[in-house]
């Protein structure tokens, strides 16, 4: 990777799945760069390859062909343990089903990734408390996920994703299980984190509201990039 502000680079990415004897081409020749500070969204009809592309960027899946670099390292050359460390250190995930640990409190969920990273207890506690306060969850730190609304759970998931200070955060359909008010508040929050803290986000979505708030819109169709639009800030 040449430019120092490029955090993710994809070259010639294809992904072919096998369904019985049929080859399904999910991605067909993707070239893409994500730069530090991007607030980008992957859009397109169902089956266009959005989630597949997000999973490849996050190292959750492997391409059939092509190369992917994250933080200057080609992840296809990594061992499974090296890839796990990369995901732990450099990539934050926000899933549409929240994926919080039900037996842990909001505070413990936010701390969890930092615990795996070996961050000292005092530091991870202070960082988690500060983040939850910033995200409007002060006073709810000790509630478990089933004691929180959907919007509150998704904000905890965002706090967990950014607490470990990754180079990129990958929310997959982050507003899918939220009403319009909670979804709008969540997007405004992530936009603020992007603008004030420089957190890099790449979303996949069907939600027009998410697309409206993005500064870069990458349109996919039939596994190819149809358009890549930068919007004025």
pLDDT along the chain (233 residues), means of 10: 81 91 90 96 92 93 94 90 92 89 96 94 94 90 95 92 90 88 87 90 93 95 94 76
Instruction: Sketch out the chain's domains with CATH numbers.
Output: 36-62+79-230 (3.40.50.300)
Q: Indicate if the alpha-carbon torsion angle 196, 233, 202, 64 is positive or negative.
A: negative
pLDDT given for residue 46 in this prediction = 87
pLDDT given for residue 232 in this prediction = 77
Q: Round to whole Å and give the CA distance between 83 and 61.
A: 11
pLDDT given for residue 2 in this prediction = 53
pLDDT given for residue 1 in this prediction = 47
> Which residues does 19 contact at the CB level (< 8 Å), separation at least 6?
none
Global confidence as pTM: 0.91
Residue 43, strand partner residues: 219
Q: Round to whole Å and give the CA distance between 82 and 99.
A: 23
DSSP state of 172: B
6-19 vs 22-35, strand pairing mode: antiparallel
Q: Is 154 helix (H, G, I), strand (E, B) or coil?
A: helix
């Amino acid at each position: 990777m040449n430019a120092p502000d490029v955090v993710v680079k994809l070259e010639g990415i294809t992904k072919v799945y096998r369904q019985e004897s049929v080859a399904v081409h999910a991605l067909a020749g993707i070239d893409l760069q994500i730069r530090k500070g991007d607030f980008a969204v992957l859009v397109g009809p169902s089956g266009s390859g959005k989630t597949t592309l997000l999973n490849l960027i996050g190292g959750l899946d492997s391409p059939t062909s092509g190369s992917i670099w994250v933080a200057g390292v080609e992840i296809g050359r990594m061992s499974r343990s090296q890839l796990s460390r990369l995901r732990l250190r450099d990539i934050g995930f926000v899933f549409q089903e929240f994926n919080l640990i039900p037996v842990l409190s909001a505070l413990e969920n936010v701390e969890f990734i930092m615990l795996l990273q070996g961050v000292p207890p005092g530091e991870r506690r202070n960082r988690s408390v500060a983040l939850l306060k910033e995200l409007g969850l002060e006073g709810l730190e000790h509630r478990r996920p089933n004691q929180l609304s959907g919007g509150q759970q998704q904000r905890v998931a965002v706090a967990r994703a950014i607490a470990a200070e990754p180079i990129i955060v990958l929310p997959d359909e982050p507003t899918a299980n939220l009403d319009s008010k909670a979804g709008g508040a969540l997007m405004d929050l992530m936009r603020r984190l992007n603008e004030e803290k420089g957190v890099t986000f790449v979303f996949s979505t069907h939600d027009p509201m998410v697309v409206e708030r993005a500064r870069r819109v990458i349109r996919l169709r039939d596994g190819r990039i149809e358009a890549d639009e930068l919007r004025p800030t």
